[in-house]
């Protein structure tokens, strides 16, 4: 690579960043890291009508949460700034003028009403109105009007836009790293507006000028921008600039595989589509996902390492990522896989940190439910160690462990019917005395004691262990029963057995 690798993520602050946008940012970031390049964040806010307050901050917070940090961008000027297009306003006009003087662009004076009329008229005839070679001389612009008339209109401050003069009867060859060569017949292109009557450039013009001025070497962006590629290439040619390399990433599809994943799918299908919460939409962070999990599943949406490996840290991804392994076809979004990743990264979390966070949740639960919850750091840590394997999110901890903290007062009905036999109360009373005679109440010791007793009595495990779990836990769930008993302690275990015997016998099941 001769040119320094410089890539950019160029979102428009029109709302929250969709998860697809995060993937685009991630692939740019990974490409930059892999090639020792720079990752730039540029805010494309030329469309004032679509500007949404707070969106830029949201984008930056989201990237930071994911660990996709930019080398250059708003607040981090490395000599190519400003990085907000609204702050670069003064730059664009001269380039539009340059295209006019080169005969590559022209002034168009058509009013909105006139254009709407043409659109409607075409629609009624089952056609689409395209402003280009086949009708531009019939419309109101500097190509159809005389020089004098054009000048008079410009002098009188008439509203106008600057349009690109797309070439007629040419075949252009476009290169895309992921898609290969794409051939386009220029006759299908419309004369896109480059500069608007409000004095602002459109996305197309500002985008390529900034990519040129910021010395962007590779443009990695979503497939939805592929239809703009021809115009962009023609603009680079018109200016006489060398175009960057292009790579258009595959779409992210709905879990069914049919149709593009949209911002609204989150609410409809019940999984987040935004990294952070936005209004009423819950983000990945708030839903309990770790950034490592989000990064990992996004990396594999459209890219594969060429091996069976599925687990990658951001650093590992930076070492192995390549555009050659990005595929063309849409990438199906799989919400179950995202959970699988989260489960994996939950197991990797620092146990002390998990414990601290769970302790603070326990405090809240105790306060809001007016219950006393006795929770020592070391005990809670042991509980976390026992249950985390079953958890996908930290928020699952309470449901998986509430019985450690609160003795059951009711017992799963179905399980009670199934497990409670005539001799169960008697058996469990005997287990209670075995436990009572133990000096050390550690899981191993309890396990030996109870199992030896079962053996000596000639009982079956099935007669003892399931009802014992039922009375200790309240239901047929939870981790190793001896570990549970060791943690809740001898007295509490015996109390639970006794209370259950009374409750269940009284209820005559
Ligand atoms: N502002 C465009 C967007 O919102 C940038 C597209 C591009 O990367 O060229 O995605």
State the CATH number of the domain containing residue 460.
1.10.10.350
* 183, 213: one domain: no
Looking at residue 151, its pLDDT comes to 97
Residue 98 lies in a domain: yes
**Tokens matching residue 25:** 């940012």
Cα 415 to ligand 1 centroid, rounded to whole Å: 57
Q: Which of 347, 376, 394 is the last residue of a domain?
A: 347
- State whether the Cα torsion 18-24-25-26 is positive or negative: positive
- Ligand 1 atom closest to Cα of residue 203: 1
Confidence of residue 1 (pLDDT cuts 50, 70, 90): very low
The CATH number for 318's domain is 1.10.1160.10
- Does the residue 80 lie in any domain? no
> What are the tens digits of pLDDT across the range 104-154?
999 999 999 999 999 999 999 999 999 999 999 999 999 999 999 999 999
Q: Which of 347, 363, 391 is the last residue of a domain?
A: 347
State which ligand 1 atom lies nearest to the alpha carbon of 12: 4
Asked whether the predicted pLDDT for residue 3 surpasses 90, the reply is no
User: Nearest-5° angle of CA 179, CA 72, CA 263?
Assistant: 55
Q: What is the pLDDT of residues 45-94, one digit of tens each?
A: 998 889 999 999 999 999 999 999 999 999 999 999 999 999 999 999 99
| Residue (of 140, 234, 144, 142) closest to 192 by Cα position | 234
The model's pLDDT over 240-255, given as tens digits with 9 standing for 90+, comes to 999 999 999 999 999 9
Q: Which of 91, 488, 191, 139 is nearest to 468 (CA)?
A: 488
On whether both 239 and 261 belong to a single domain, the answer is: no
Provide the number of structural domains found in the chain.
5
- Cβ atoms of 232 and 207 within 8 Å: the answer is yes
**Residue 196 pLDDT level (bands cut at 50, 70, 90):** very high
Same domain, 245 and 260: no
What CATH number is attached to the domain comprising 43?
Answer: 3.40.50.620
- Render pLDDT for 441-472 as a digit per residue (tens, 0 to 9): 999 999 999 999 999 999 999 999 999 999 99
342 and 264 fall within a common domain: yes
Q: Is residue 320 a part of any domain in this protein?
A: yes
For residue 509, name the pLDDT band (cuts at 50, 70, 90): low
Output phi, psi for 322, to 5 deg.
Answer: -150, 145
Q: Phi/psi of residue 40, each to 5°? A: -115, 140
Residues 391, 462 within the same domain = no
**Has residue 11 got a pLDDT over 80?**
yes
Q: Is residue 214 part of a domain?
A: yes
So what's the pLDDT on residue 374?
A: 85
Report, as an integer, the average pLDDT of 279-283.
94
Indicate whether 398 belongs to any domain: yes
DSSP per residue, 442-488: -HHHHHHHHHHHHHHHT--HHHHHHHHHHHHHSSS-SS-HHHHHHHH
How far does residue 278's CA lie from ligand 1's centre (Å)?
A: 21
| Ligand 1: lining residues by beta carbon, under 6 Å | 10-12, 44, 203, 207, 221, 225
Distance 358 CA to ligand 1 centre (A): 41
Domain-ending residue, one of 347, 363, 385: 347
- Is the pLDDT confidence value at 485 over 90? yes
Pair (501, 454) in one structural domain: yes
| Residues 399 and 417 both lie in one domain | no
**Same structural domain, 190 and 94:** yes
427 pLDDT higher than 60: yes
Q: Is residue 279 part of a domain?
A: yes
> pTM of the prediction?
0.93
439 shares a domain with 486: yes
Tell the residue nearest (CA) to atom 5 of ligand 1. Answer: 10
102 within a domain of the structure (yes/no): yes
Residue 10 resides in a domain: yes
- Quick one: what percent of the chain has pLDDT higher than 70? 99
**Structural domain containing residue 115:** 90-195
Question: 271 and 292 share a domain?
Answer: yes
Residue 437 Cα to ligand 1 midpoint, Å, equals 72
- pLDDT tens for 313-352 read 999 999 999 999 999 999 999 999 999 999 999 999 999 9
Q: Which contiguous run of DSSP H or E holds residue 107?
A: strand 105-108
Within this chain, do residues 40 and 103 fall inside the same structural domain, yes or no?
no
Residue with tokens 């410009």: 154
- Give the residue numbers marked as catalytic: 263
Residue 473, pLDDT score: 98
Say if residue 24's pLDDT is above 70. yes
Contact 141, 106 (CB under 8 A): yes
Question: Quick one: average pLDDT of 354-375?
Answer: 94
* Residue 439 sits in the same domain as residue 499: yes
């Amino acid at each position: 690579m001769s040119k320094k690798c410089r890539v950019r993520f160029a979102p428009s602050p029109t709302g929250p960043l969709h998860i697809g946008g995060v993937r685009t940012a991630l692939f740019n970031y990974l490409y930059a890291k892999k090639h020792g390049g720079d990752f730039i964040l540029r805010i494309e806010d030329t469309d004032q009508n679509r500007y949404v307050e707070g969106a830029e901050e949201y984008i930056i917070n989201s990237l930071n949460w994911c660990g996709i940090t930019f080398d250059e961008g708003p607040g981090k000027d490395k000599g190519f700034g400003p990085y907000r297009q609204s702050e670069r306003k003064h730059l664009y006009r001269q380039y539009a003028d340059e295209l006019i003087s080169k005969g590559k662009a022209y002034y168009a004076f058509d009013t909105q009403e006139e254009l709407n009329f043409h659109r409607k008229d075409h629609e009624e005839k089952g056609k689409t109105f395209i402003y280009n070679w086949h009708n531009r001389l019939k419309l109101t612009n500097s190509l159809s009007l005389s020089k004098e008339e054009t000048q008079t209109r410009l002098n009188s401050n008439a509203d106008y836009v600057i349009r690109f003069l797309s070439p007629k009867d040419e075949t252009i060859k476009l290169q895309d790293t992921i898609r290969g060569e794409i051939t386009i017949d220029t006759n299908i292109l419309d004369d896109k507006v480059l500069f608007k009557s409000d004095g602002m450039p459109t996305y197309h013009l500002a985008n390529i000028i900034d990519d040129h001025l910021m010395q962007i070497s590779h443009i990695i962006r979503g497939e939805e921008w592929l239809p703009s590629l021809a115009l962009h290439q023609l603009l680079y040619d018109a200016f006489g600039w060398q175009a960057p390399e292009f790579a258009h990433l595959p779409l992210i599809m709905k879990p069914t595989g049919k149709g593009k994943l949209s911002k609204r799918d989150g609410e409809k299908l019940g999984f987040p589509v935004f990294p952070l919460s936005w209004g009423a939409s819950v983000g990945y962070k708030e839903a309990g996902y770790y950034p490592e999990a989000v990064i990992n599943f996004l990396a594999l949406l459209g890219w594969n390492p060429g091996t069976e490996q599925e687990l990658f840290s951001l650093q590992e991804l930076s070492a192995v990522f390549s555009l050659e392994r990005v595929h063309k076809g849409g990438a199906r979004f799989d919400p179950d896989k995202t959970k699988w990743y989260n489960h994996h990264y939950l197991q990797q979390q620092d146990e002390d940190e998990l414990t601290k966070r769970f302790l603070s949740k326990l405090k809240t639960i105790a306060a809001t439910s007016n219950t006393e919850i006795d929770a020592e750091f070391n005990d809670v840590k042991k509980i976390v160690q026992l249950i985390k394997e079953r958890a996908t999110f930290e928020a699952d901890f309470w449901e998986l462990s509430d019985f450690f903290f609160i003795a059951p007062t009711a017992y799963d009905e179905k399980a009670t019917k199934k497990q409670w036999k005539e001799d169960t109360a008697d058996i469990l009373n005997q287990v209670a005395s075995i436990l009572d005679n133990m000096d050390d109440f550690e899981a191993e010791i309890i396990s030996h004691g109870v199992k030896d007793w079962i053996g000596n009595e000639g009982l079956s495990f099935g007669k003892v262990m399931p009802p014992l779990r039922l009375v200790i836990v309240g239901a047929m769930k939870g981790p190793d029963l001896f570990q549970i008993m060791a943690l809740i302690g001898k007295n509490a275990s015996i109390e639970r057995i006794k209370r259950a015997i009374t409750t269940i016998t009284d209820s005559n099941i």
